[in-house]
Amino acid sequence: MSNSKLAQVPSNALIPERDLDKTPVLETHHLGINFGGLKAVDDFNLTVGRTEIAGLIGPNGAGKTTIFNLLTKVYQPTTGTILLDGKDTAGMSTVQVNKAGIARTFQNIRLFSALSVEDNVKIGLHNEIHCGMWSDIFRLPRHWRSEKIAHERALELLSIFHMEDMANAQAGSLPYGAQRRLEIVRALATNPSILLLDEPAAGMNPSETSELMDNIRKIRDTFQIAVLLIEHDMNLVMGICEGICVVNFGRIIAKGDPDEIKNNPDVIEAYLGKKGAK
Amino acid sequence: MKKLSKNAKSNAVTYAIVIVFYIVMQILSGSGTLSSSLTGQLIPICVYICMAVSLNLTVGILGELSLGHAGFMSVGAFTGVIVAMSLQASVASGPIRLVLAMVVGAVMAAIVGVLVGVPVLRLRGDYLAIVTLAFGEIIKNILNNLYVAYDAEGLHIRLLTAISKSELAEGGFMIINGPQGATGITKLSTFTAGFLLMLFTLFVVLNLIQSRSGRAIMSIRDNRIAAESVGINVTKYKLMAFVVSAALAGMAGALYAMNFTGVAAKKFDFNTSILVLVFVVLGGMGNIRGSIIAAAILYVLPELLRAVNDYRMLFYAIVLIVVMLVTNNPTLKNGVNAVWTALKGVFVKTVPVPEEGGESDE
């Protein structure tokens, strides 16, 4: 384990067959971070196929969100490498990683709550539609052109979740479920190649959840991107994920397709304790 | 499209307030109904409105506290004076010299803004407040010890040691004389120039806010982590807001200095920075129109209270406290809103407006 840190071992990938001949969109090798003496994440190896929907599950405090923070460089990893489209992201900042193709949502919603829904999406489009400060201030033709494109693009993206009608509402005033959906739209606006969703179904009722499942599939199919999601709702995870990775105490305890995970004794033990496994 | 028209409508009202203010004041001062002391305040009012609007860009829109806005004003003021006085011979037209002075003052303030902003705005946290506070004091002390003179050979700039008249060539004159500040300024500022500067400041700030760059700036204020996660270059946009704000303060400073025959560095001290900050806070963070109204009213208030001369600062303080309480009191706020909605209802009754859906058809 720890003495093999420098070796580039395959991360016993779970790439769906259709993606096998392409470079995985995301690969991590021996990824880890220490907080003081605590190994919050240790020797984390994962491969996500180009159009895969992958799940990251585990009990509370297992380090799932920390992994997301490592992938998006909110934290710089202590050990290991992250490859995005086969390219090493070492030394990149959150902003650079986003430009390179990782977009995410947050477990505790982080919208620009004082701004309108449309503006939230337009901020997501920031690096897609360019316009400099001077054309903005002096309202040069370029400003009007880019604003028009941004407006149309924003409404188009909002229509994925049928939210066009809410475009002018203040983001912070939306109902909880709509805020979660808006966060996904904002992340999609950055034109990512992999979308990280941190508990997208939290606080949603069963019908909203099943609609979300359809929408995640729809996003994957239309944008041809990968999705990696953290979720506690097992119906959602087992329903849409093609590969699942289970972590506990910062380490991977199991990987496999939904059926393998469901019957894995280690996973059952992690969730239910030793007695549950028997 | 409604969003766009809503912004445009709100902007129109803001511009209209400034234009109406200008016309009313022109009529009043033309007919002689305005007291001479108040007439003398007209240009400073314009200047402080510009100061408040530009500071609002940093404090309200970007969400960073700046306590040294008067420092940028002084940079613009002294640069402007140097430009205007050294061009006295070569550029005959007063207005052109004023514009040149304001432009160079703005550029200089922007450069200083970059120098202050680059190291500080990279940090997370409230460092900007501390650094701008120090900056305001440092710049005041530098200007207090700055000696600038102009003669046939060009500009003489010296720190700490005074320049004596005898060192200058024939026809040379002092521009800035240490603690005495700039003296012998030809008064170039007019109320119309102040009015045009207000319009320009509004134009720049409103257009910046309602654009791609402005959205990026506001996203940093609302949620820095989320802004980074969607690829917003936080340092760049913080710097953009801060420098634009400094440049506009520099312009206002140049106009301010050119309103007097002499101006000293001690005029631009911490109290002035706080005064402008008070305008912004009481006008509402991020509320440009509020800044205009608060600056205009609160700036003339001490003047209007001259009747109760001994107690005027007391009254001023009471007014500030009352405004603060009222703007933060939800009950009173709701009351005002209710009255406002009722009034609106009276005026637009002829057009039946269903609650939400109807509005979006506009």
The structural domains of chain A, with segments of one domain joined by +, span: 2-101+192-277, 110-190
Domains, in order of start, for chain B: 2-348 (1.10.3470)
Residue of B225, B226, B240 lying closest to A133 (CB–CB): B240
The residue written with tokens 């003495």 in the block is A3
**Separation CA A104–CA B313 (nearest Å):** 53
| Residue A259: CB atoms within 10 Å | 10
Tokens of B355: 């609650």
For residue B219, the chain A residue with the least C-alpha distance is A112
pLDDT at B362 over 60: no
For residue B215, the chain A residue with the least C-alpha distance is A123
Which parts of chain A fold into alpha helices (H)? Answer: 64-71, 94-100, 117-124, 133-137, 141-158, 176-189, 206-223, 234-240, 258-262, 265-272, 274-277
pLDDT reported for residue B4 = 56
For residue A171, the chain B residue with the least C-alpha distance is B222
Greater pLDDT, B126 or A92? A92
pLDDT tens track for A193-210: 999 999 999 888 899 899
Residue of A95, A136, A167 lying closest to B213 (CB–CB): A136
C-alpha angle with apex A178: A174 to A182, nearest 5 degrees?
A: 100
Q: Which of A108-122, B138-152, B313-327 has the highest mean pLDDT?
A: A108-122
pLDDT at B24 over 80: yes
pLDDT reported for residue A24 = 87
The residue written with tokens 């990149």 in the block is A92
pLDDT at A15 over 80: no
Residues above pLDDT 70, as percent of chain B: 93
Nearest to A30 by CA among A99, A88, A77: A77
Residue of B203, B204, B212 lying closest to A126 (CB–CB): B212
pLDDT reported for residue B186 = 84
Provide mean pLDDT across the span A179-199. Answer: 95
pLDDT reported for residue B185 = 84
Contact at CB, B219 and A116, closer than 8 angstroms = no
> Which amino acid, one-letter code, is at A190?
T
Contact at CB, A126 and B215, closer than 8 angstroms = yes
Which are the contacts of A206, defined by CB distance < 8 A and separation ≥ 6?
A: A235
The ipTM assigned to this model is: 0.88
pLDDT tens track for B236-287: 999 999 999 999 999 999 999 999 888 888 889 888 899 899 899 888 888 8
Greater pLDDT, B85 or B155? B85
Shortest distance, CA A26 to any CA of chain B (angstroms): 17
Inform me whether the C-beta atom of residue A165 falls under 8 Å from chain B C-beta atoms.
yes
Provide mean pLDDT across the span B344-357. Answer: 54
Lowest mean pLDDT of A28-32, A140-144, A245-249, B36-40, name the range: B36-40
pLDDT tens track for A49-73: 899 999 999 998 899 999 999 999 9
pLDDT reported for residue B327 = 67
pLDDT reported for residue B1 = 46
pLDDT reported for residue B150 = 85
Nearest to A198 by CA among A83, A94, A72: A72
Provide mean pLDDT across the span A136-154. Answer: 93
Contact A231, A201 (CB under 8 A): yes
pLDDT at A5 over 50: no
Lowest mean pLDDT of A11-15, A145-149, A215-219, B131-135, name the range: A11-15
pLDDT reported for residue B360 = 40
Selected for mutation to probe chain B from A75, A137, A145, A168 (highest B CB count within 10 Å) is A137
pLDDT at B230 over 60: yes
The residues pairing with A246 across neighbouring beta strands, listed in sequence order, are: A57, A254
- How confident is residue A26, by pLDDT bands cut at 50, 70 and 90? very high
| Residue A144: CB atoms within 10 Å | 12
Which are the contacts of B326, defined by CB distance < 8 A and separation ≥ 6?
A: B332, B333
pLDDT tens track for B67-117: 999 999 999 999 999 999 888 878 778 889 999 999 999 999 999 999 999
pLDDT at B165 over 90: no
**Separation CA A195–CA A192 (nearest Å):** 6
pLDDT tens track for B289-331: 999 999 998 888 877 777 776 777 787 788 778 777 776 677 7
Shortest distance, CA B169 to any CA of chain A (angstroms): 43
**Separation CA B67–CA B82 (nearest Å):** 26
**Residue-by-residue DSSP string for B99-139:** HHHHHHHHHHHHHHHHHHHHHHHTSSSTHHHHHHHHHHHHH
- How confident is residue B354, by pLDDT bands cut at 50, 70 and 90? very low
pLDDT tens track for A70-101: 999 999 999 999 999 989 999 999 999 999 99
Q: Give the β-pairing of B154-159 and B146-151.
A: antiparallel
Contact A216, A229 (CB under 8 A): yes
Provide mean pLDDT across the span B341-345. Answer: 76
CATH 3.40.50.300 applies to domain A2-101+192-277: yes
pLDDT reported for residue A6 = 42
Side-chain half-sphere exposure of A56, counting CA atoms within 13 A: 30
pLDDT reported for residue B273 = 92
Residue of A112, A168, A189 lying closest to B219 (CB–CB): A112
pLDDT reported for residue B216 = 95
| Residue B23: CB atoms within 10 Å | 11
pLDDT at B137 over 90: yes
pLDDT reported for residue A1 = 37
pLDDT at B359 over 60: no
Which are the contacts of B4, defined by CB distance < 8 A and separation ≥ 6?
A: none
pLDDT reported for residue A2 = 39
Greater pLDDT, A3 or B331? B331
- How confident is residue B221, by pLDDT bands cut at 50, 70 and 90? very high
- How confident is residue A226, by pLDDT bands cut at 50, 70 and 90? very high
Contact at CB, A137 and B2, closer than 8 angstroms = no
The residue written with tokens 């203010």 in the block is B21
- How confident is residue A9, by pLDDT bands cut at 50, 70 and 90? very low
Nearest to B213 by CA among A112, A93, A122: A122
With contacts defined as CB-CB under 8 Å, which chain B residues touch A110? 223, 225-226, 229
